[in-house]
Structure 1
Amino acid sequence: MPTFSADTLHQLTIDVFTRMGAPDDIAACVADHLVGANLAGHDSHGMLRIPQYAEFIEAGTLKPDGRMRVVERMPAAAVVEGDHGFGQYLAREAMLLAIDIAREAGTGTVALRHTFHTGRIGTYSELAARAGMVGLVVSNCAGGGQLVAPFGGTARRLSTNPISIAAPSAAGDPVVLDMATSVAPEGKVRALHQAGKPTPADWLLNARGEATTDPGDFYADPPGSILPLGGVFGHKGMGLAFMIDILAGALTGAGCCREGVTAYPGDGMLLMAFDVARFGAAEEFARRVADLSAYVRDCPRAPGVERIYAPGEIEQERRVQREREGIFIEPGSWQLISGVCERVGVAVPG
């Protein structure tokens, strides 16, 4: 089974993307993000994305050297262009700008548009939290990544439109919520498809609008769709996805889901930072967050439940485990990654 250290995968990622035209700093940022996603247990946003990104670079859709350009700067906000570069790099730069603005104004909001896939968005809210701020991030696919059927519908009309909120805690690591507004992100469907495994019964519809557990139905022609978060209460997940499309698409200028989008226009993202110290004592805030986490964890547990987790704690446990034991890559995914390495002249780790 292919299992590797984080350092090995990090260097491989840098080597691949520098060979494909990314500057060293951008390649290193993408490597940090992809390997970090695997370490956190979110394999759907980790190394398996390398073949997809390589394909888009070769097609000219993803510009490996694309950098952020500030279009407009206001006292508490900014609008920035991504030039279709790596979303992991651009979203990090946008959140760093939001943090700088928040230090001056108390809150900072950055509207990012025309960026390639931004990956695991909890990375950016956590960046704010580690700077002593509350981070809030929402993202869409600007109308080009329609994957989700609306509640009661049988065809793609929305994207997975994730949201992440993170806050500093006196207990140590930040509290981090990071979730799609669909029942699962596309990357988890992709991971199961590459592994040759079925999806849970309540994730997908095929092209006929019938429930399916075959992830191949989702990628078929005509394609299937992912269901909104919430099951029989899926109108709530759909409503949240709808409003995120407005914030990340209409407000940023990136665009919303609509008819006739035939090419991927790049993600839209709204990133916000709130300087906790400007709203009161930062130490008291962090203590209240830690106390809330402890209070919720201490709830009496249902039969068979070993532990109740605060948001982000599962990822913290997985990170420690995988740093110790290594990162397992599904054989199907590793075969695709190895193919990219061979194509660009990078040695495949043994």
Structure 2
Amino acid sequence: MKNFNHLKLTKFISNIFLQSGSNEEESFSIADHLVDSNLVGHDSHGVIRVSKYIQWLNDGNIKLNQSIKIIKEDNSFLHIDGNFGYGQPIAKQSFNLGIKKAKKNGHCILALKNLGHIGRVGAWSEMAALNGCVSVLFVNTSGFGILMAPHGGTDRRLSANPIAIGIPIEKNDYLVLDMATSVVAEGKIMVAKNKGSKLPEGMILDGYGNPTNDPIKFYSEPVGSILPFGGHKGFGLAFMIDILSGALTGGNSSHPDNDNSHSLINNTLAIIMDTQQTVSNNYFQNDINRLTTWVKDSPKADNVSEILLPGEIEKNTKKERLINGVPLDDQTIKDIKDTAILVGIKDVDNDFIYTLLN
């Protein structure tokens, strides 16, 4: 593992996308989002994704420098087609509009379809929270990202179908729950594979439906599947999220026969609400503070120093990595180097990589 300076890493990743044809705004938007995912500890949604993104672009499954297409709009509703553009810049454009409507009219329902990989879903809830809005996000893929077995099943039938909930709190801060409905995100299996490590038991099945903790077996033919968290409860939530984010947006629920299942296309349903349009900010924050104190004051279990609220692990990790750098394994570094060379960046040798270290 090597630790990279986040600013130097962002500049390098941005240049990869710039050289591949993205404009400066799009390149930075993608790179900034990916590196920030590493900073908060979501390495599965960080720069490990760069090689995949460029592969999808070269395969013709992602369109460069796209703008949103508004299908339908009123005071508190937006239905948007992402035109198969990169997910991060499309999501940023869309959430900017959705938040603006919520601040003006109290709330906004945002339905997005046909955008590339949206990245770390919690980032969009953070964006809403920093603008004084509560948000609930449901996300699926339309077929390419089918990974999860249904409860009682043995092969892939559903996407990981994440949900994110963001809450603004005092001092321009936030609480964010960001979780897949699968017991583990696929990107974390990729991270384990790159590191040569095993997974905890009870997370994945091999391609024959047998439990395994070996990420290599998950990616081998026939491919394995991920289990839903909490058995039937996680499966039930995942199934409903597929309908809300897929069928309701027009982007399709998970199925390999969809006409947009050729690449990892995300669809999203978001509910954005301005807290001050429902209750006073003073009441809202005081009630959250009381709940926080009540929960954190629970007697600690053995070996537990603090009860952490949703999003606090990520914020603590970000503080540490801003100081010590972003850790990347050798395989991820190699994949990024190879991708940089592929798009035409020269002199990407070990000496250059050392200049990016923290």
Do they superpose with TM above 0.5? yes
Amino acid at match of 2:285: A
Displacement of 1:170 in angstroms is 1.8
**Alignment check: 8 A CA contact 2:117 2:264 kept:** no
Residues in 2 aligned to 1:99 and 1:37: alpha-carbon distance in whole angstroms? 22
Distance in 1 (alpha carbons) for counterparts of 2:256 and 2:342 = 36
Alpha carbons 2:130, 2:172 under 8 Å: kept: no
Please, what TM-score do these two structures have when normalized by structure 2?
Answer: 0.94
CA shift, 1:264, in A, is 2.6
Specify the SS of the correspondent of 1:119: coil
Aligned position for 2:233: 236
> Which residue pairs with 2:248 in the alignment?
251
Deviation for aligned residue 1:265: 6.4
Distance in 2 between residues matched to 1:44 and 1:59, nearest whole Å? 22
Deviation at residue 67 of structure 1 after TM alignment: 1.9
Cα contact 1:171–1:287 (8 A) shared by 2? no
2:13 matches 1:13: yes
SS in 2 for 1:92: helix
Q: Distance in 2 between matches of 1:55 and 1:135?
A: 32
Provide the rounded CA distance (Å) in 1 between the counterparts of 2:311 and 2:87.
22
Identical amino acids, percent of aligned pairs:
37
Alignment of 1:303 with 2:307, yes or no, is no
Query: Paired residue for 1:269?
Result: 268
d(CA) in 1 for partners of 2:310 and 2:128?
A: 16
Q: Does the aligned pair in 2 maintain the 1:170–1:289 contact within 8 Å?
A: no
**Residue pairs, 1:129-168, within 5 angstroms:** 129-168=129-168
Quote the offset at 1:349 in angstroms. Answer: 2.6
Deviates more, 1:235-244 or 1:142-151: 142-151
| Structure-to-structure mapping, 1:113-132, within 5 angstroms | 113-132=113-132
Confirm or deny that 1:62 pairs with 2:62. Answer: yes
- Where do 5+ consecutive residues of structure 2 fail to align? none
Q: In 2 relative to 1, CA 303–172 (structure 1 residues): closer, same or farther, beyond 3 Å?
A: farther
Look up the SS of the partner of 1:137 in the other structure. strand
Tell me the residue number matched to 2:112.
112
Question: In the alignment, does 2:192 pair up with 1:195?
Answer: no
8 Å contact kept, 1:95–1:272: no
CA distance in 2, matches of 1:306, 1:210: 37
Task: Write the deviation string for residues 22-68 of structure 1: whole angstroms up to 9, x where unpaired.
Answer: 11111111111111100000000001000110111111111231221
CA contact (8 A) 1:142 1:265 kept: yes
The answer to whether the 8 A contact 2:62-2:84 is kept is: yes
TM-score by length of 1: 0.96
**Cα deviation digits, residues 133-171 of structure 1 (max 9, x gap):** 101111000133110000110011111000000111126
In the alignment, what sits opposite 1:349? 353
Q: For residues 126 and 237 of structure 1, what CA distance do their matches in structure 2 show?
A: 24
Write the letter of the residue equivalent to 2:249: T
Using a 3 Å threshold, how does the CA distance of structure 1 residues 342 and 265 change in structure 2: closer, same or farther? closer
Provide the rounded CA distance (Å) in 1 between the counterparts of 2:264 and 2:353: 34
SS of corresponding position for 2:168: strand
**Secondary structure, aligned partner of 2:178:** strand
Tell me the equivalent position of 1:209.
Answer: 209
Task: Give, in angstroms, the shift of residue 259 of structure 1.
Answer: 4.9
Q: Which runs of 5+ in 1 are unaligned?
A: none
